[in-house]
Structure 1
Amino acid sequence: MKLPTERMKKIPFIGIREIFEKARSFERQGKSIIHMEIGRPDFDTPAVAKEAAIKALKEGFVHYTSNYGMDELKRAIADKLKEENKVEYNPDDEIIVTTGAVEGLALAMFGLLDIGDQVLVPSPCFPAYTNQIKLAGADVVSVPLKIENGFKLDIEDLRRKITPKSKMLVINSPQNPTGSVLEKDDLEKIADFAKEHDLFVVSDECYERIIYDAEHISIASLPGMQERTIIVNACSKTYSMTGWRIGFVASTPEIIDSMVRVHQDVTTCACSFAQAGAVEALRHGRSAVEAMVKEFRRRRDLVVKYLDQIEGLEYVKPQGAFYVFPSIKNFNMGAEEFCDYILKEAGVALVPGNAFGDYGEDFVRIAYSSSYEKIEEGMQRIKEAIAKI
């Protein structure tokens, strides 16, 4: 039996994990490594969520829920979307609780795409987008995000990439890996483009609450967009619940019907007692989020302060998420070579930009999702290592 299959040959391992394993190998040799490659909040989950999950376990809430998810959680999600995002969804047939946002993305790709369809993907991007599109048998059409545009999606670049086979557009704001945020005028242009070309829009809003110098607006809230938009979100980043694997999607009944058919045969339902915890996070976890975002802003400002001191690095100040994506083109090194150098010379793990798909070769991603003290030490080490180049 010959493996991998032709389809799986197109799916690489995500480069973030590769650099993580390299860093771990240095740690096993006794080298001090500062991890600035992994993008996850280092905060604890809000206590109310943990207590609710423990209570659910003790009370025997350990069995399947509906494929669509726990009724109380879907109502909490609907309330959140109405209050924070200005969009109304019926919790009975317009929301699915998923096993993290990654499954939510997969439901959209497998539920809505046919073989040979094309998907417009602003790039560099979260690698799961392109991998899932390929797994669905569709084709990725990368649209460049340019540093000179602040990593904002340029409508003219979209127009150059559209074809009769284009069926879907993926957007992500705040964006991984650049930290850019699509503001209202950006979204209005994208909305007009999507309506003009009759595109589904998958809107990844996982970092919506981790935002500093802008306002998050869901594209589904714009006129004529709710009917063609699939909102993908999760508790993972907002409530530091990455290991709980609770996400959700929201869209029209017709779109949700296609997606739940995939969900029922992939995961059946999200973890029942984790869903119980997520209800309390959504209902009562806001103060913990505000404290976390305040600290992320402080860390962002620290990283930017150091970047301003490093000659040759170009960057755009991130407006959201917990990443900055500086250009290294002035150092005449590829992204992987640069990250290897920083890892060996400085003991700091960064991610090469090409791990995020097309147009990332001249960049690296720095994640400021570890402690302030670790970030300060890491940035000082990076500064000293670059001074030796």
Structure 2
Amino acid sequence: MANQGDTGLIIDPFYATYPTTLRSAGLKPKMVRTVPEDNFIPSVSELTKNAKNAKTLLINSPNNPTGTVYDKSNLFEISKVAIENDLWVISDEVYDTQIWVGKHISIRSVANMENRTAVIGSMSKSHAMTGSRLGWVVAPEQVIEKLSDLACNTNYGVPGFIQDAGLYALTQMPNIEKTVAEPFFRRREIAQKIIKECPYIRMHPSLGGMYLMLDIRATGLNGIEFSKALLEATNIAVMPGESFGESSAGHIRVAMTISDDKFEYATRSICSFASNFTTSTN
């Protein structure tokens, strides 16, 4: 897929460990900027501009941290750039069972992409097995052969009891994916109702995944400043958008991973905090 010193593209915003993951493989990470007004969908012009001399493109849909889900037209545009520039696409699809609007489509299913795509899957999100580190890669045979050699010489394989747990989840719990996903959908609905009434915070359309991306630029703070002040004032922890790249500056990521009542309280507290801050500084 790539050699030492080659360039690997990453869509910004990105999961925080992507750049170091590429560096550990000897690649030079290069970010493809997006804008909040386009719901962080990469444009063809930005992709094309950065694709020259790159070897790989890492995408993530449903996306962490934004909740963006690439539809068929988005994936077609990405695949067109990949084919024209001879890029391998690494597609992180670990949230594929958590779709709130539309449906999940893998870029591997787009015409002529099967032999230039590596799909990353995991039981971490779909089956609530985050700490088990149990996942897979779907890719052309020659790529899997190299990955098998790498795995054999790094982690030596997945412990047997984790494999047993994964097998049980896949074969004995047919409704678990829906059961795991449902609370996140429910909390998304809670957040939408609350934030709709909050004039200083805008929620980007969350189409999938367990996170919300909130635009807090109206407060006059960036994401880091807002997150620190919120923690000090309310003991509520969120992630600043700047943790995920320059494109999400002025935003915060909220995880929908606590109980409904605590999530509702935290969301209302965030809105109240934002309103109080803007009132006191305007």
Find the counterpart in structure 1 of residue 16 from structure 2.
127
Pick the aligned partner of 2:107 from 219, 225, 229.
219
Looking at structure 1, the residues matched to 69 and 33 of structure 2 have their Cα atoms a distance apart, in angstroms, of 15
Alignment partners' CA distance in 1, 2:2 and 2:258: 37
Deviation, 1:223, is: 1.6
Is residue 200 of structure 2 the alignment partner of residue 312 of structure 1?
yes
Instruction: Give % identity.
Output: 28
CA distance in 2, matches of 1:232, 1:245: 12
Note the C-alpha offset of 1:292: 2.7
1:59-113 deviation line (CA, Å, top 9, x unaligned): xxxxxxxxxxxxxxxxxxxxxxxxxxxxxxxxxxxxxxxxxxxxxxxxxxxxx43
Partner of 1:380: 268
Which one of the candidate residues 162, 182, 198 is aligned to 2:70?
A: 182
Once residues 154 and 148 of structure 1 are traced to their aligned partners in structure 2, the CA distance between those partners, rounded to angstroms, is 12
| Partner secondary structure for residue 247 of structure 2 | coil
Q: Where does structure 2 lack aligned partners over 5 or more consecutive residues?
A: 278-282
Residue 208 in structure 1 maps to residue 96 in structure 2:
yes
- Decide whether aligned partners of structure 1 residues 156 and 285 sit closer, same or farther in structure 2, where only a CA change above 3 A counts: farther
Deviation by residue 1:167-205 (Cα, 9 ceiling, x = unmatched): 000111100000010011111111121111111110100
| 1:116 alignment partner in structure 2 | 5
Rounded to whole Å, the distance in 1 between the matches of 2:144 and 2:245 is 28
Instruction: Determine the C-alpha separation between the residues in 2 that align with 1:305 and 1:366.
Output: 15
Aligned-partner residue type, residue 262 of structure 1: L
Structure 2 distance, partners of 1:217, 1:144, is 22
Q: Mapping of 1:53-132 within 5 angstroms?
A: 112-132=1-21
Query: How much does 1:156 deviate?
Result: 1.7
> Which structure has the higher relative contact order (CA within 8 Å, separation 6+)?
1
State the aligned residue count.
277
Q: Deviations over 1:292-347 (max 9, x none)?
A: 32221110011111221221222312000011111222222121110011111122
Partner of 1:148: 37
Which whole-Å CA distance do the structure 2 matches of 1:126 and 1:135 have between them? Answer: 15
Contact 2:11 2:33 in 1 (8 A): yes
CA distance in 1, matches of 2:58, 2:167: 28
Q: Return the alpha-carbon distance in structure 2 between the equivalents of residues 286 and 170 of structure 1.
A: 31
Structure 1, unmatched stretches of 5+, are 1-111
Root-mean-square deviation (Å): 1.3
Could you tell me how far 1:135 is from its partner in structure 2? 2.2
Q: Give CA deviations for 1:15-65 in whole Å, capped at 9, x if unaligned.
A: xxxxxxxxxxxxxxxxxxxxxxxxxxxxxxxxxxxxxxxxxxxxxxxxxxx
Q: Secondary structure at the match of 1:211?
A: coil
Mapping of 1:1-389 within 5 angstroms?
112-164=1-53, 166-389=54-277
- Report the CA distance between 1:153 and its aligned residue: 2.1
- Which structure would you say has the larger Rg? 1
In 1, the alpha carbon distance for the partners of 2:241 and 2:251 equals 5
